[in-house]
Structures are given as C-alpha cells and as structure tokens.
Structure 1
Amino acid sequence: MQQYIKDFAQLVGHEVSIKGWVTKIRKSKTACFADFRDGSGFTQAVFALESLGEEQFELAKTLTLESSLAITGQLIRNEKSLGGYELQVNSFEIYHNAEGYPITKSDEEMGVKFLSDKRHLWLRSRRQWAIMRLRNQLIMSIHNFFQSEDFVQMDAPLLTGSACEGTTDLFETDFFGQPAYLSQSGQLYGEAMAMAMGKIYTFGPTFRAEKSNTPRHLSEFWMIEPEMAFYTNEDNMNLIERFIKSVIGEVLYRCKDELEVLGRDTSSLEKVVDETFPRVAYSDAVKILRGELEINGKNAIKLQEEDLAQVTARLTEIQAEIAEREKAIAAGMKKGARRFNEGKILALRGEAKELEEKQRHIPDWIESAKNFEDGEDFGNSDETVLTRVFSTPVMVYNWPAKIKSFYMKEVDGDPSLVKGVDLLAPDGYGEIVGGSERETSLEVLVRKIAEHNLDQDDFEWYLDLRRFGSVPHAGFGLGLERLVRWVCGLNHVRETLPFQRRYGQIKP
C-alpha cells in the first residue's frame, strides 16, 4: 500500500512504502543520501550498502536528480534530516533514471528568466511546492468562508460582448462573426445573479491586456467576486474585513510548514487576524501620503526617510561581510566550509540586489508622495508609502468619481465622490481588494454610461436590473494572485500561480 510523507508523524518505527522523485543526492562509498519528494512533502532517504547489499547499492548509485522510484524502508525520527524524518531504505524500484535535469543550482544562481522558461520543472522545487500548497489552502479557505456565510457560488461568462469597466485593455476575439472579449470581471453578471439569489460569489479567471511589466500585474489571473443584495458599502467593508481575517487565520493554522519553508515572518499576518482594520477616507489618505496627517505619531514621509537610512546602513554591512568571506575563501579552507561561505555570499548578494533597488526607488517614492495631487488615483509607490504607517490592511473609501467605474454609487450629497473601497495590504503589497456600493438609480447610471463614453445598447440588460426591483447592493473583487503574493511574502507575482501569463510571457 502506498503511503505519504505528510503522514510520517503517525508512521515512525514502521516499515513505510512511498513513491516519488529524487530532488538532491549525495553519494559516498557506503551510502547514498537522497532528498525525496512525493507531492505531499519532502524527506531524506538513506540507501546504505549494509542494508541493500552490493548489487542494489550499485543500482542506487545510478540515481540522479528527478529520477522517479518507489522505496520501502524503516522510518525513524531524525531532527537533522529534511522534514525531521529519515527513511532507511531496504528495497526500491526505479521507474525512470532522469538524465541532464537542467535546474541544478539555487534560484539565485539559475536566474529568473531561465526559471520562468523552465516553469514546468521549476514547480518541482520545495519553495514552489510550498507556494502552491498555500495557494490551494487560500482557495479552500475562500470557499469555506463564503459557504459558511450562505453565499451561492455561481459562474459568470468568460466571453463578453462589452467591457465591464470601460477600458481598452481587452483581449478581443471573434465570436461567430461578432466581436467578443475575454472577461475583465464577472461583476455585472454577479449583480444580476445576486438579484436572484441574494448573496453570490464567482471564482474564475479574468483577463487584462495591460502592457505592464511590474511585480503586481498579470494578463490572466483569478478573481473572487461576491455580490450582495441589500448591502451598503458599510456592510461591504464589514464583510471584507471578516473575510480576510477568516482566510488568513485558517492559513496560519493549516500551513505552518509551508510558511516555514518560505521563511515567512508570520507576525505581520497574525496582526491581520487580531487587530481591527483602519478605515480612511480618500481625502485623509491623501494627507497621510503627503505627510500632512500622522497616524499614531507615524509620518509617512519620515518613515520612508528612515527606511532609506536603514537600507543604506544594511548595504554597508553586507558589502563588508562579503569582502570578509571572500578574503577567508582566498586564504584557503576545506571544501565544505568553502561551499558554505560561497552560499552565504550568494544569499548576501541577493539581499543586496533587493536593497539596492529600494535605495534607488525610495527617493522617487518620497518625491511622488510629497507632490501627489488630490483627485488622482494612487500608484504602486503611493500605496507603499501610505500603508507604511499601518500594521494591518487599511481600507480607503469614498473615492473621486472621475477615477472610478461608472457603476459605483455616488456619495449622498456629493456626486464628485463614489462609495468605493480599496483594501491595501501592508509592507508594500498594495491593493488586494476593490469594491463598492453599486448605483441603484437608472437615471444616474444612464448618465454615467454616457460620461464614460460607453455604448448604452451594450448595457441595456444591466439597466434592466434597475428597472425591475432595484435594491441597495454592493460587492467587491479580490485578486487571488495578489493575495498569494502577500501571504507568501513574495517579491513578484510570477510565482503565485502554476503558469504565468503576463506581458512578455506566454510560454510554457
């Protein structure tokens, strides 16, 4: 019977049979030590001459990276081994001996371009395994939350005849002689479904033809879009906060090992669960960004200046440590110590590269923040500066109407503002949720459609929702990959899904 690494805690002291792949192997005259994965986890398997006999041991010595095999052996606890266990092999069967596996070094040594082109193989690394398992848990936790809140999951079409948000960033295709577009959002259809079911959510792929090559943007990504009848924007914000707290809390509970593999400091995520999310009107957010309004004694501009000083000091430390280690290597040392120091130097250079990027950008961020014009939308750097004064996600609400979509409800008594809300994650991860109370007035919607230069004929079906039983309602959209990036603490969105589709990347 096949068993799995994830169940090893209950199998210590027993004979165990698992199937999987070799991820690393070290060979000596009397033993081969292999890091082994089976999809559920990673462990160390020891192929000893004494246990196997000469013929089987010689066969074990032919194993290479990503060779696939079935192994049986005695499972023991070994805290020094990968995963905390060791499988002492007494028999095995090789399915395939791989030759020339191309990913032989660390991510830093192989380089992002090479790894992206070999994504079908890069997925096998322990780091990518951890990210994908966290993504899976986030998806399950999202479903758990909405199902527990009596939402009905429904599906919006991926092919549409018009743009939901009125942008030109659309992938166009031919639909039996008519122009059609890959969906930017299922929101408008979600509103229709909410009028039938009360509370619904959609969960599916969406597409944006933005020629944007940033760490936050993808051309194909997954969106979770709930819509709720008889909800105000206040209700909407309450739901967003409960939702994020629930999902993060469940991931912290269920994915301790995966977060540890990534080296993720979970203290900031724990604050998400424990602390109340601040809610800030857009007008105040502008003042915070420009350093005109402090939050609990924290000034956004001064914090950036302090961060810049810390980055500069840390770079000086790194350069000194690299020089010291290189000097020690040049003086001569044992092979193992040399490899250790070379690995440390590589890691330090990776850290320095990230810090140098911050050192270049922070002055521009400060300048942009100081000169931010009221009424404009926040850019990536503005979100980074703004959220620096908060320890949890922050909700920014009541946005200028001119920078938001036509379907957002106007603020009572001030049609220049709309009842929108963006949830901005801390630590520079930016917007992860965007939502609003939806406009209920047929007359206002007709006017807004014209103001946004949209064709009213494309939205007659949508206007029917206001003609026949219009009610207050609200909703939001969450970008799954941005959530994964934040929770995993990733520098780039490229690692958040199995195969990325973004500007400049269509293969594999």
Structure 2
Amino acid sequence: MLTTIARIGQHVGQEVRLGCWLYNKRSSGKIQFLQLRDGSGFIQGVVVKAEVAEEVWENASQLTQESSLYITGSVRADDRAPSGYELTVTGVEIIQIAQEYPISLKEHGVDFLMDHRHLWLRSPRQRAVMAVRSEVIRAMYEFFHENGFVKVDPPILTPTSAEGTTNLFHTKYFDEDAYLSQSGQLYMEAAAMALGRVYSFGPTFRAEKSKTRRHLIEFWMIEPEMAFVDHEENLRIQEAFVSHVVQSVLKNCERELKTLERDTTKLQNVTGSFPRISYDDAIKLLQEKGSEIKWGDDFGAPDETMIADHFDKPVFITHYPTEIKAFYMKPHPERPEVVLCADMIAPEGYGEIIGGSQRIDDPELLEKRFAEHELSEEAYRWYMDLRKYGTVPHSGFGLGLERTIAWICGLDHVRETIPFPRMLNRLYP
C-alpha cells in the first residue's frame, strides 16, 4: 500500500510502501538506520541484515544522501521516534543513487545555503517553515471565508502607485509607463464598493535598497477592504484575524514548531483584544527611555521593538501624524493633524506586521490630498469616482505574510519564510 509519512499512523501493524529520499544514514554493522523523508515528514527505517534478503541489504548499503527510493516495511509505534512511528524495512527499490550532495549535515554559511536554496528547502527546518507558511495561508483563507469576505485579485501591472512611485519597479507596458504593484489596496477599495467585504492575496514589490532582516524585494500581502467599517471596527477585525491565524498554527503545526525549537508560550497569549498605544504616548515613552525622537518622526525598527517590549502580545500604535502617512488615510475628526490609522507591532522584536486605516471618503478632501501629494488627477480619476458615486465610510489593512511567518516561527530573518527570496543582492536561484 503506497502512503505518505504524514499518514503513517493510520497503518500501524501493516506493511506499507513509501516513495522517499534518504536524508541520513548510520550503521552498526548488522543494522542500518535510514532517515527518510518524503516531503510530508521524516521517519526512520530500520534494516536488520539477518531479517532481509541480501539484495535489500545491499541496496540499502548503496544509498547516499538524497538518493531516491521506494521502501517497503511494517509500521510500528515508537514513542522515542520524533514522528511517533518507525518502519521495519523489508524492501528497498532504488530509483537513483544521488551524486555527492552539496549540503552535508554540518554547518554552512548563509550565502552558501542561499545559493543552494533549491536544495536547502529539503532540510527539516526549512520544510517546517514552509509547512507553517502553508498553514498561515490556509487559516487566513478560512477566516475570511467564515466572515463573509469575497476574494478579489487586483492587477500586478499598474499605471499608478498606491503610495508614490519612488520605491516601485518601473517597466514599459507597450508604449506606456507601468509599475509592478506595491499594493492592491486602491483596487480593493473599488471591489469593496461592489462586494462589501473583500480581500486580496498576492505578490507585491518594493524597490527599497534595504538589507535589514525584515525586508524582501518581493513579498506577499493579504489586503482586506471593508465598506461601512470605521477605524475601531477595523482594529477589532485585525485582532480576531491575527488571533485566528496564530491559534491555528499552534493547533495544526505543533510538530513543525517543535522542529524550529519555537517557544510557543508567547504565541499562546495571542488571543482576545490587543493593547493599544497612541503615537503621542509612544513618542513620550521613547523619549523617557533616552531616545532623541521627536513628534512627527516615523518609528524605526529599534523604536518599534522598544515599544513592543512593554506588551506580551501584538500592540497597536494608533493615530500617526497626517504628514508621515499615505494620502488616502482619513484625518481624525477632532485632530486633523493625525489620521485614523494603526500599525500592529509584533512582540519579540519582529516589528510591524500590519498597517491599516480608515480611508478618506470625502471627495473634496481627497482632491485636496491629490494636490498636496502632487498626484495626477487624471491617473487617479477612477479612484476619485469611488467617492463621487456612493461614497461610504470604509477601512482596510495589509498584512505582510513573510514578517508574520518570521514572528510565528521565531526566525532571525525573513529570507527563510519564502521559498525563493528576492533580496537586494539576490535574484538567484
């Protein structure tokens, strides 16, 4: 019976067949211990020389790291095994004896591993990260499906920018200028006016020459937009959304988090309402700690970390100055110098994972913002139409997938959170 390692527990006491690769091997002379992987997990296969045909023993002896094979054996439960099960091998059918594998079971430098990213993905740690990534995406879709959102796909090639063109990749669209999308938000606002509550999920591109552990050139964003939702309800939805995702990972990726040696105690706190601190109070807090930051400055990574350290779960920093935020954010009705926005800062030094706001719904104010930000009214005419024909209060947010995964997994750098990272000096493989 052909099965997978992930389903091996369904076949205790039965003989099964696996398609797999050899991850590692050790031998005591009369017993060979084969560490096997098939993409769904890892399991040990035990080959006892006295109990198998000579051909089976010889085939097992030939196997090199990452050789591919079909293996047959009986499944038995074993509490000592990481997977909880072990395979008593009765047959080994070689598919290919792999050449000397570049990534040996020892320490390698990051550049070497990134050059061999296509192979590094096979390691237990990287497989665990990708499995968590998959679960995060599944949980996101689940949350939106259960809460009445409709998925809408915005374009990747755009004629304009959501937040200015300084950090966009420029290309030619036949005889017109075009850009790779840095956000689908503006298009999602249009979709929200048609469908009520919507979300998009796809790749976005930022041409920022940044080398920090939080930045990628190409990354994935989930961007909900909601008609008839104000700033306060927007924050409540974000709390529920992030809590759902984190709790789903804790429930469904216990083995992967263990592989990553992730301390999950802080993740268990991610539920219910999240603490909030206003921009004003955050500035005071930083100044009390000796920072020279002043009102009107944006927060850097060290500032966000210093603020987050005061809380045991994600924290909202609310009501940033109007001048340092995007043109589409709605001013506070009683304090027009600040906007109805919030950044969600993850604990443990992982920084901003969500940026969101209530959007401007007043057409006159939006026209004023176009002039202040020197935006082309012709290019954004369609966006203005949303305010001319049935404008309503509406809000939205964007969550960066890779930063969220880095936080949940406890990773040092976002480069491990995406299968093939694109960074300032890396376009290969």
Q: Structure 1 length as normaliser, TM-score? A: 0.83
Give the Cα–Cα distance (whole angstroms) in 1 for the partners of residues 28 and 386 of structure 2. 73
Residue number among 113, 119, 122 corresponding to 2:120 in the alignment: 122
Within-5 A mapping of 1:454-469:
454-469=375-390
Specify the alignment match of 1:359 in structure 2: none
Indicate which of 261, 266, 285 corresponds to 2:282. 285
Shift in Å, 1:372? 1.1
CA distance in 1 between partners of 2:293 and 2:378 (Å): 38
Amino acid at match of 1:128: Q
Structure-1 residue corresponding to 2:319: 398
Asked if 1 retains the 8 angstrom alpha-carbon contact of 2:56 and 2:90, the reply is no
The question of 1:103 aligning with 2:103 is answered: yes
Among residues 470, 484, 487, which one is paired with 2:408 in the alignment?
A: 487
Distance 1:415 1:37 in 2: 58
Which residues of 2 match residues 67-216 of structure 1 at below 5 A?
A: 67-106=67-106, 109-216=107-214
- Distance, in Å, in 1 between the alignment partners of 2:55 and 2:10 is 32
Residue segments in structure 2 that go unaligned for 5+ positions in a row: none
Q: Which structure 1 residue ranges, 5 or more long, are not aligned?
A: 292-300, 302-368
1:49-81 deviations in whole A, cap 9, x for unaligned? 112232331221110000010111111222333
Deviation for aligned residue 1:182: 0.2
Percent of aligned pairs sharing the same letter: 49
Q: Deviations for 1:380-401, whole angstroms, at most 9, x for unmatched residues?
A: 1110111011101001111101
2:248 — aligned with what?
Answer: 250
Task: Report the 3-state secondary structure (helix = DSSP H, G, I; strand = E; otherwise coil) of the residue aligned with 1:61.
Answer: helix
2:17 matched to 1:22? no
Matched residue of 1:57: which SS? helix
- Residue aligning to 2:418: 497
Q: Distance in 1 between matches of 2:55 and 2:29?
A: 13
Shift of 1:251: 1.2
Q: Which amino acid aligns with 1:22?
A: L
Deviation track 1:319-356 (CA, whole Å, cap 9, x = no partner) reads xxxxxxxxxxxxxxxxxxxxxxxxxxxxxxxxxxxxxx
Task: Give the ranges of 4+ consecutive aligned residues of structure 1 lying more than 4 Å apart after TM superposition.
Answer: none
The 5 Å alignment of 1:326-345 reads none
Q: Conserved in 1, the CA contact under 8 Å of 2:21 and 2:37?
A: yes
Secondary structure in 2 matching 1:416? strand
Assess if the C-alpha contact under 8 Å between 1:35 and 1:82 holds in 2: no
Tell me if the contact between 1:69 and 1:96 (Cα under 8 Å) persists in the aligned partners. yes
Q: Output aligned runs, 1:194-343, within 5 Å.
A: 194-273=192-271, 275-291=272-288, 301=289
Residues matched between the structures, number: 429
What amino acid is aligned across from residue 212 of structure 2 in structure 1?
A: T
C-alpha separation in 2, matches of 1:250 and 1:128: 20
The normalised TM-score by structure 2 is: 0.98
Of Structure 1 and Structure 2, the greater helix share is in 1
Could you say what the CA RMSD is over the residues aligned between the two structures, in angstroms?
1.1
Quote the Cα distance in structure 2 between the aligned partners of 1:263 and 1:414: 46
Contact kept, 8 Å, 1:44 with 1:82, in 2: the verdict is no
1:445 paired with 2:369, answer no
Equivalent pair of 2:158/2:180 in contact (CA under 8 Å): yes
CA distance in 2, matches of 1:462, 1:434: 20
| 1:25-44 matches, cutoff 5 A | 25-44=25-44
